[in-house]
Amino acid sequence: MSKPKIRKAVFPAAGLGTRFLPATKAIPKEMLPVVDKPIIQYGVEEAIAAGCEQIIIVTGRGKTVIEDHFDISVELESQLESRGKTDLLAMARHISNLGRVAYIRQKEAMGLGHAVLMARDLVGDEPFAVILPDDVIDAPTPCLKQMIEVFEDVQCSILATQVVEGPGISAYGVIDGQPLESNPRVLEVRGLVEKPKPAAAPSKNAIIGRYILTPRIFELLEKTPLGAGGELQLTDGIKALLEHERVCGYSFEGTRYDAGDKLGFLKATVEFALQREDLGEAFRQWLHDLPALSN
Ligand code: UTP
């Protein structure tokens, strides 16, 4: 039998984005731009670069602009065409050509696990990726592509991790695991602890917003009771998965920004702006000359 491929990527985008109020009162967090690109587009481009053919976005009320963003904008395209703005036209077309995109509604923000469960019928009986759009990752090889390469080898669910030093670890799910001899970046997961006190953290390996999951997660999420905050937690579903199947952690190569958090969003904006050919030099100079930085 041929090995399963990761063809579908699920983007939970139905959360309320309260950490980013008031900006997110009427604008979805996923549409906030880092430099000039909505954060969800970074994730969709990553999934396409990793070979995914179908993008499944879990949306909620007030999120229809996400659908508009990935759709053809007839008026915009004809205006750009008639004005001869070929570069901008190519950019607009690139966005609407980014793979096949399907949408499913999560009627209430009942947690990340619940959002993933909404995608069950669209995913079907195959392993799939989950990308949290507010985790923007800058990596020489797209993070999901690295994970798919590991999946081809281990053939089990994979959780992306990063090392978090100090008390910040308490904001994450943390892996208790053993590195594989064949690849020390891959951890054999023995257990997961959600948001531990720093002294109780089993390691510094925090789970971040990239997952490859086997379809068994759906039947387990169906049975998972509501957890912290009265929400269906994806981590609780993964803990249940661990009782049935092998799960691995993967310490990806690259830098992750939590763009759903104000400080993380600012860091991503500065780093991505500095890398831009059209802006980087002028922005670097402006930062260098900032009086506030020299005091
Ligand atoms: P977050 O933990 O960042 O939650 O969700 P949030 O509600 O969006 O933001 P804050 O904490 O209130 O500021 C991670 C991802 O999961 C999605 C979010 O849209 C985000 O992309 N999510 C979260 C859902 O789709 N549904 C949910 O019920 C919760």
Write phi, then psi, for 255 (nearest 5 degrees): -120, 135
pLDDT band (50, 70, 90) for residue 71: confident
Whole-number pLDDT of residue 10: 98
Cα 112 to ligand 1 centroid, rounded to whole Å: 7
Atom number of ligand 1 nearest to Cα 11: 21
Assess whether pLDDT exceeds 90 at residue 162. yes
Please name each of the domains of the chain with its CATH number. Answer: 8-260 (3.90.550.10), 262-295 (no CATH)
Q: Which residues line ligand 1 (CB under 6 A)?
A: 12-20, 29-30, 58, 106, 109-112, 114-115, 132-134, 260
Whole-number pLDDT of residue 248: 98
Atom number of ligand 1 nearest to Cα 12: 25
Assess whether pLDDT exceeds 70 at residue 1. no
Whole-number pLDDT of residue 295: 63
Write phi, then psi, for 277 (nearest 5 degrees): -60, -40
CA 174 to chain centre: 17
Cα 6 to ligand 1 centroid, rounded to whole Å: 23
Which 8-state DSSP code applies to residue 59?
Answer: E
Nearest CA to ligand 1 atom 5: 15
Atom number of ligand 1 nearest to Cα 260: 3
Rounded to whole angstroms, how far apart are CA atoms 105 and 51? 25
Q: What is the pLDDT of residues 265-287, one digit of tens each?
A: 999 999 999 999 999 999 999 99
Assess whether pLDDT exceeds 70 at residue 66. yes
List residues bridging with 6 in a β-sheet: none
Cα 74 to ligand 1 centroid, rounded to whole Å: 31
Whole-number pLDDT of residue 33: 97
- Residue 275, token pair as written in the block: 């890398």
According to DSSP, the β-strands at 37-38 and 157-163 are: unpaired
pLDDT band (50, 70, 90) for residue 91: confident
Q: Which residues of 227-259 are buried (b: 16+ CB within 10 A; e: fewer)?
A: beeebbbbbbbbbbbbeeeebbbbbbeeebbbb
Contact between 146 and 49 under an 8 Å Cβ cutoff? The reply is no
- Residue 99, token pair as written in the block: 């793979």
Cα 87 to ligand 1 centroid, rounded to whole Å: 34
